[in-house]
Amino acid sequence: MTEIALIGNPNSGKTSLFNLLTGTSQRVGNWPGVTVERKSGTVKKHSDWKVQDLPGIYSMSPYTPEEKVARDYLLSNHADSILNVVDATNLERNLYLTTQLIETGIPVTVALNMSDALKGQGKTINIDKLSYQLGVPVVSTSAVKNVGVEKAVKKAAHTTKETVDIIQYPTYSDKFEAAIKQIIDILGDIVPERSARFYAIKLFERDALVQNEVELSEFQKGEINEVIKITEEIFTEDSESIVINERYEFIERVAKMAQNQDSNFKMTISDKIDRVVTNRILALPIFAVVMFLVYYLSIQTVGTMWTDWVNDVLFGDLVPNWVQAGLDYLHVSGWLESLIIDGIVAGVGTVLGFLPQIFVLFICLGILEDIGYMSRIAFVMDRVFRRFGLSGKSFIPMLIATGCGVPAIMASRTIENERDRRITIMTATFMPCSAKLEIIALIAGAFFPDNPFVAPSTYFIGFLTIILSGIALKKTSFLGSYVSPFIMELPAYHMPKVWSVLRYAFGKAMSFVKRAGTIIFSLTVIIWFMSSYDFAFQAVDTEDSILAALGRAIAWIFQPLGFGDWKATVAAATGLAAKEAVVGTFGVLYNDSTTSGLYHALQLDYTSLAAYSFLTFNLLCAPCFAAMGAIKREMGDAKWTIGAIGFQTGLAYVVSLIIYQFGLVVFYGKGITFWTIVAVILLIAIIYFIVRKPRQVKEKVITLDNLEMAGE
């Protein structure tokens, strides 16, 4: 029986083609990852032709479980032939996988799918030229119209390892080819001759799975490592980037020869938009404007309108009066009345009062995600991150962190490089989550009501902190590593679906309400008790309470940051349990759930600069207990967990100190003090850790000529 491996990129039409060939019923969709397992079936009218439907993948580098499944199957020597489904409308991207498939040594037949859709864009592909350039048979197909499908599978069934003796591999630059040839010579007969080129390139990339799979002597490993190091010096790039660039240069030559564009060519709307929003110069300014508008709508305008009503009318007047009337009717004791009115209603009410702003924020983010803009930002950020030696895959957890830090930390599992994953875990929670949005709204509303830039600035502080701390961590000996490539699908733009956006926003809002009804409720009860009684459990004023005593004991720590009083200290401490509790704590301590009342009380105790320092500290410091638990699970090591939490809290303290001390000099005209000097020293230290050269082990360097002589 002839076994044909059916493989291609996600959304290339592979699943549809598989259904036509085998007659099986399988779900067909346009989202990446529809086929998550390998499926098989016999070709209709040809029971001796078996088709293995492999997962949709972008490359043979095992960065995902799907890619590992496909790679392991192809290298297991079961497949006689490969039928590679290529999306004609995205030729360059799809041919990246094709080059890798050819190098496995298994004969490849290309099914050029969606050629009809390409014609609609005013483009055509010369099948003969494409076949000649690739060195493999190419058949034009349309899975939607069932055109060319049978011809493609017949060609694949007759282009097998038994019928094809010589494989025409993709050719790269002379320098790179010389390096690959030397690695092939070093390998000798350790790997099959047909797939020797595949293994050589994978070893050059430092593919961990291949390194573990191929049994090499220490001498051979040393020789291969020398080839890699020398080639990296010649190209002044890391080995993985060299391979990626070589492949795309080859693909560019192939596409240029094979593609034709007629005079009626028209760019799609998505392409026209992408030329602007993903432009190297305009992309980041556009992103900044978009995020400014998101926070402006949610914090300054639309969200604030509803927040003022919920805080001042609903929880400031209606709910307290209703509850008070019920308590009077039941004749409850004074302490219980105080607990319910001054503790629960004031604390939970203050937290829930900012729910409208959170809801508006997630409507805005839901719209951006639904229309496809967030995918473009991930692409743009990959370009930015890689420039600084960071992984573009870290942006996805960052994006998720704007909702909640826990799933953001868990999302780091998609990052295969352990060091990149740890850096992401340590930095993702710097982004303002929905819980931190409460603190942002409180500080912005109380101290900067007419400044629309304060709320968005927290987003950019978090983003900038992630990049700069990532750069510094990457330069350490224990977290430095090569950057793994980030590949993702860019869907076409489309109008947002109202119900989809509302469902997304409601889901986030309900999650927030549940936390307010459980964690925040419990914390406000504890805060009320500790702020109402002394250590002898006697009812006292707040200033003489247990909470005040504990707060004053550690308040001095935050004195250089500008908020060294016990109330702010206690609020920051409760934020470790849940960030929403910061706002709830202020509501209980000031015994006021109305917006205007709480704003006025805060303005009496803190300056605008101290408030912004407090906001920055709570933005960057260790996340809530739930996120800390996620850090522990994902790190899998107590030392790394403690290190991550210590790093976050320490960095938050340092940044807040610098902001406050510099602010005193710049905005308040204060003189130079001891803490100003400390702030300058800390700033210099931060700059040093960012710009210093990464730690590297000195290694022996020899020339390629010397290596060739050593191998003779």
CA distance 563 to 305: 29
The phi, psi pair for 6, rounded to 5°, reads: -100, 120
Say what the pLDDT of residue 704 is: 39
**Amino acid symbol at 526:** I
Secondary structure tally for the chain: helices H, strands E: 35, 8
The per-residue pLDDT for range 238-291, each reduced to its tens digit, is 888 889 889 989 998 998 888 876 555 566 677 788 888 888 788 889 988 988
Which residues are documented as binding site?
Answer: 8-15, 19, 22-23, 33-37, 53-56, 113-116
CA distance 643 to 648: 9
> Is residue 165 one of the residues assigned to a domain?
no
Say what the pLDDT of residue 182 is: 93
Please list, in sequence order, all residues whose beta carbon lies within 8 angstroms of the beta carbon of residue 134, skipping any fewer than 6 positions away.
Answer: 95, 98, 102, 110, 168, 170, 254
> Is residue 323 one of the residues assigned to a domain?
yes
Say what the pLDDT of residue 63 is: 60
DSSP 8-state assignment for residue 329: H
Residues 205 and 315 grouped into a single domain: no
CA distance 255 to 130: 8
Could you say which of 126, 158, 190 is where a domain stops? 158
Q: What is the pTM of this model?
A: 0.62
CA distance 656 to 652: 6
β 123-125/108-113 pair status:
unpaired
Cβ atoms 24, 30 nearer than 8 A: no
Q: Which CATH number does the domain housing residue 208 bear?
A: 1.10.287.1770
> Is residue 591 one of the residues assigned to a domain?
yes
> Is residue 710 one of the residues assigned to a domain?
no
* Rg, C-alpha atoms of the chain: 31
Which residues are documented as binding site for GTP?
Answer: 8-15, 33-37, 53-56, 113-116
Coil/strand/helix, residue 46: strand
Could you say which of 235, 258, 276 is where a domain stops? 235
Which residues are documented as binding site for Mg(2+)?
Answer: 19, 22-23
Coil/strand/helix, residue 8: strand
Residues 113 and 193 grouped into a single domain: no
Q: Which domain holds residue 225?
A: 174-235
**Vertex 238 angle, CA 237 and 241, to 5°:** 85
Residues 136 and 184 grouped into a single domain: no
Say what the pLDDT of residue 85 is: 92
- Give the count of beta carbons closer than 10 Å to the beta carbon of residue 566: 21
Give the DSSP per-residue string, 49-77.
Answer: EEEEEPPP-S-SS-SSHHHHHHHHHHHTT
- Give the count of beta carbons closer than 10 Å to the beta carbon of residue 326: 11
The phi, psi pair for 18, rounded to 5°, reads: -60, -40
pLDDT along the chain (712 residues), means of 10: 87 81 51 47 82 83 70 82 89 90 91 77 83 91 82 88 82 92 90 88 87 86 92 86 89 87 63 82 87 82 77 72 78 74 68 77 83 79 72 74 78 72 87 85 88 88 88 72 58 77 82 71 80 82 85 91 90 84 83 73 91 94 84 84 91 95 92 92 91 56 37 38
Q: Which of 458, 457, 468, 459 is nearest to 385 (CA)?
A: 468
> Is residue 512 one of the residues assigned to a domain?
yes
CA distance 197 to 220: 16
Residues 313 and 201 grouped into a single domain: no
CA distance 575 to 573: 5
Helices marked H in 84-213 — which ranges?
91-103, 115-120, 127-134, 149-158, 174-187, 196-204, 208-213
Give the DSSP per-residue string, 450-515.
Answer: T-TTHHHHHHHHHHHHHHHHHHHHHTSTTT--PPPP-----PPP-PPPHHHHHHHHHHHHHHHHHH
The phi, psi pair for 385, rounded to 5°, reads: -60, -45
Coil/strand/helix, residue 571: helix
CA distance 368 to 298: 14
β 123-125/138-140 pair status:
unpaired
The two structure tokens encoding residue 208: 């961990």
**Vertex 381 angle, CA 375 and 384, to 5°:** 155
Say what the pLDDT of residue 428 is: 86
> Is residue 251 one of the residues assigned to a domain?
no
Residues 545 and 682 grouped into a single domain: yes
Say what the pLDDT of residue 662 is: 95
Coil/strand/helix, residue 77: coil
> Is residue 264 one of the residues assigned to a domain?
no
- Give the DSSP H/E element, type plus range, for residue 123: strand 123-125
- Give the DSSP H/E element, type plus range, for residue 335: helix 334-338
The phi, psi pair for 47, rounded to 5°, reads: -65, -15
Residues 572 and 632 grouped into a single domain: yes
Say what the pLDDT of residue 488 is: 59
Q: Which CATH number does the domain housing residue 87 bear?
A: 3.40.50.300
**Amino acid symbol at 476:** T
Cβ atoms 447, 609 nearer than 8 A: no
Residues 311 and 192 grouped into a single domain: no
Residues 91 and 222 grouped into a single domain: no
- Give the DSSP H/E element, type plus range, for residue 376: helix 373-387
Residues 466 and 348 grouped into a single domain: yes
CA distance 666 to 359: 37
CA distance 471 to 478: 13
Q: CB-side exposure of 173: number of CA atoms within 13 Å?
A: 13
CA distances from residue 223 to 186, 199, 237, 457, 712 in whole angstroms, order as listed: 8, 15, 19, 51, 13
Please list, in sequence order, all residues whose beta carbon lies within 8 angstroms of the beta carbon of residue 321, skipping any fewer than 6 positions away.
Answer: none
Residues 137 and 191 grouped into a single domain: no
Cβ atoms 223, 711 nearer than 8 A: yes
Residues 148 and 209 grouped into a single domain: no
Could you say which of 197, 215, 235 is where a domain stops? 235
Per the structure, how many domains does the chain have? 3
> Is residue 669 one of the residues assigned to a domain?
yes
- Give the count of beta carbons closer than 10 Å to the beta carbon of residue 78: 12
Residues 215 and 325 grouped into a single domain: no
